[in-house]
Every structure is written in C-alpha cells, then in structure tokens.
Structure 1
Amino acid sequence: MNSVVLMILAAAVLVSLVFVVVLIQAKLRSLQPTGAGALYELRPALLTPAERSFAGALDASLPEGVIWFAKVRLADIFKPIRGVSRSAAAIAQNRIQQKHVDFLLVRSADMKPLAGIELDDSSHQEHRRQDRDAFVDRLFQASGLPLLRIPAAATYSPAELKTRLLIIISAEPN
C-alpha cells in the first residue's frame, strides 16, 4: 500500500511540474513580440526641438553646394585604418559604432564630408559625456575633418553661423 501511495504522489508531483512548466512557457511566449515591430513605436520627430531650431538656422546659413544630414553614425563617416590587426580594427570599429555626430555637412556634388557639427547642451557637462566628446574631438582632428561645437541655444544667428561655416569649409582641402 505504501508503494501505491508513493506512486500516486510521484505521479501527482510529476503532473504538477509539467503543468508549471507549461504555464511558464505560455507566460514567456506572451511576453515575446508577436510582430517585427511589437517592441517599438515611432518617435514623434527625428530631431529634438533644439536640433530643429538649429537646423532652421543651418538651412539659412549653408553655402551653395553644401547640404546637411542629421545624426550620422561615426562608423558611416570613419573607418579603422588599414594595416592593423583584426582585433585592433574590431576594437576601433566598436568605439565608433554606436556614436553619432548631430549634423554632418557634405558637398552635394559627391557627398564628400566637409565638417561635423555637435550641439553642446547641458548633458555635455557630465563626466562620461566629456570623455565621449574628447574622443570624438580627437577622431575628427586626426582625420582632418573639422568639427564645429555649437552651444545649444533657444535661437541661432544665421549670419554668425554662416561666417563660422565658411571659415571651416573653406579651410577644408578639396
């Protein structure tokens, strides 16, 4: 009799465990996205209000033949130099993979990068952000591509911006 009770008890425990596993799997499946975009939603705008304000001044300031792109990944502008080991190239690529510049000025005729622009808001005072900014500054300087840092503001002077842009673009070798 003892063995029959133990077998019934073991079967009940086994059925209970199977039931719990099935419930857990069902719960996990319900948490999984059901479509490609189930975990994402559309942002209200590509640019922040500060970036949109600057973009308006930038549009009014650009010399003919120059256009801008926003939020361009550094990995789309720069690449690791040739001749380094694969691991060094991978490390270099990873450092720029998820960073971007706020605006990139390019020559419209051939899409050649002419200069980067960073809007510096209060977040640029944070220690981690300062380290990132120093890295980006060195990257642009080492490549010979000018980087213009503009303090974020409520409004921008198109005339002043145009003067600054002409200086850095005309200094860029063709």
Structure 2
Amino acid sequence: MVALFPALCILPIGRGALYHVGVQESTLIKGIANAMFAESDSKGTAAWIHPDGQVPVMVLVVVIVLLVLLGQLFGSRSSKGAKPEYRYRARTSVMSAREEEFYHRLTAILGPRYLVFPQMHLSALLDWHIKGQNWNAARSSINGKSVDYAVVEADTLQLLCAIELDDHTHDRPDRVERDRLVERIFSSAGLPLVRFRDVERMSDSQVRDAVFSHMRRM
C-alpha cells in the first residue's frame, strides 16, 4: 500500500490542472501512510484493514481528502511566484485630438525637409552614458518622461529640437516642477526645447520662427 503513494502524488487541482507533489511532500504523505500501518496484527495486516482484506471506504476517503488538501497547500505555495498576465487594447491614436491637430499643422509649416515624431520618450532622445555618473540612476531620472514632438532633419535624421504643447494642466504644481526638471535636463544635454502654450492664437509664420530660431545647428 505504501508503495502506491508515489503514484498518487499527481493530484487534480483547480479546473483540469495537475499538481506534482515534490520530494518533501511525497515524504510527508508516506509518513501519513506509515502511521496508518503502525498498528498491525501478528500477520502483518494493518489494524484498520477489514479481515477479508478490503480497505474500508471511509479510510480511502480520508486518504484522498488528505492528498487533495496537501496538493492545494503546496500548489498555492508554488504559484505565488507566477507573474500575472495583463490584458491590453490598442489606442485609436498615439496623440490627443489637440496634439494631432498641431502635428499636422507643424509638419505642413516645416515642410518636407524636416520630420516630426510624436510622443518621444526622453530615453530615445538623450544619452545617459556619461563618464563619472551613475548610468542606472541617470536613466531612472528620465524614465517615463516624454515630450510631445521631436523634430529631425529628413535626410540625416539628425535630432534638431524637441517641442512641448502645453495646456492648463501644466499649471499644476506637480507639472510645473516636472517641466522645470525637463528643461534643465534638455539644457544640460544641449538639446533645444520649444514650448507652445496658446498655439491656436499664433500664426503659421510665428510657429515657424519659434521652431527655426531654436533648432540646433548641425
């Protein structure tokens, strides 16, 4: 009977899932079995086995329940390290309606000589591998931050400037602090950052002059 316990160490847990009991669990189960066989008669037959050699149904039920409980216990323990899988859905656009409207206007103003890339992360625009500083800390400082647009030269893809399209949300204290930090980062990197607030009130020539006057000269 004890020899049969390793074969019972694959238990059904949940909906159709299988849980394999490890060495420690198998040893524990065998210990339970040995305890059940501890009291024997002179013929070596376990005291709880019926004289006709049949194992009582109640005993089998108890054994099965113990196995299931052990499987659930150790199964839940092994699943704690599993990473959850989240669900996502595609956005209809990478920009807000206002950002998209200004994007089309900006590309028309600058012409074919320049390309405008929207929603650019700072980690794609700035190099943090500077000698003498902690690279991981420097990258963490800009991680998760982005600008609304980056302007590059069409032929060479040289980065010329970044553009932020501000609105009333930038008046919040946390956004003001964030904007000042981003401005300091761009200034230290030598990359111009152009900010537009009431761009709807600006003419195309004013927008063009503001961008061209801040572009990096390569």
- Asked if TM exceeds 0.5, the reply is yes
**Preserved CA contact (<8 Å) 2:160 2:217:** no
1:149 aligns with 2:211: no
1:162 aligns with 2:204: no
Aligned to 1:102, what secondary structure does the other structure show? strand
Following superposition, the deviation at residue 158 of structure 1 comes to 2.2
Following superposition, the deviation at residue 142 of structure 1 comes to 1.5
Match of 2:141 in 1: 95
Following superposition, the deviation at residue 130 of structure 1 comes to 1.5
Of 88, 113, 116, the match for 1:68: 116
1:55 aligns with 2:115: no
1:82 aligns with 2:126: no
Decide which moves more: 56-65 or 108-117: 56-65
Q: How high is the sequence identity, in percent, across the aligned residues? A: 24
**Preserved CA contact (<8 Å) 1:80 1:89:** yes
Match of 1:173 in 2: 217
1:109 aligns with 2:155: yes
Match of 2:175 in 1: 129
Unaligned segments of structure 2, at least 5 residues: 1-47, 49-58
- Relative contact order (C-alpha < 8 Å, sep 6+): which is higher? 1
Amino acid at match of 1:149: R
Match of 1:46 in 2: 94
Following superposition, the deviation at residue 125 of structure 1 comes to 1.4
Q: Show CA shifts across 1:117-151 (max 9, x none).
A: 00112221122222211111011112221111111
Amino acid at match of 2:217: P
Aligned to 1:92, what secondary structure does the other structure show? helix
Point out 4+ residue stretches in structure 1 off by more than 4 angstroms: 10-25, 152-156
Number of residue-to-residue matches in the alignment:
159
Q: Show CA shifts across 1:2-31 (max 9, x none).
A: xx9xxx8x9798567448659969xx9xx9
Q: Distance in 1 between matches of 2:109 and 2:121?
A: 23
Decide which moves more: 143-152 or 115-124: 143-152
Following superposition, the deviation at residue 159 of structure 1 comes to 2.5
Residues 166 and 154 (structure 1), Cα distance of their counterparts in 2 relative to 1, 3 Å cut:
closer
Based on CA coordinates, which of the two structures has the bigger radius of gyration? 2
Of 182, 185, 199, the match for 1:139: 185
- Backbone CA RMSD of aligned residues: 3.3
Following superposition, the deviation at residue 51 of structure 1 comes to 0.4
Unaligned segments of structure 1, at least 5 residues: none
Residues 11 and 154 (structure 1), Cα distance of their counterparts in 2 relative to 1, 3 Å cut:
farther
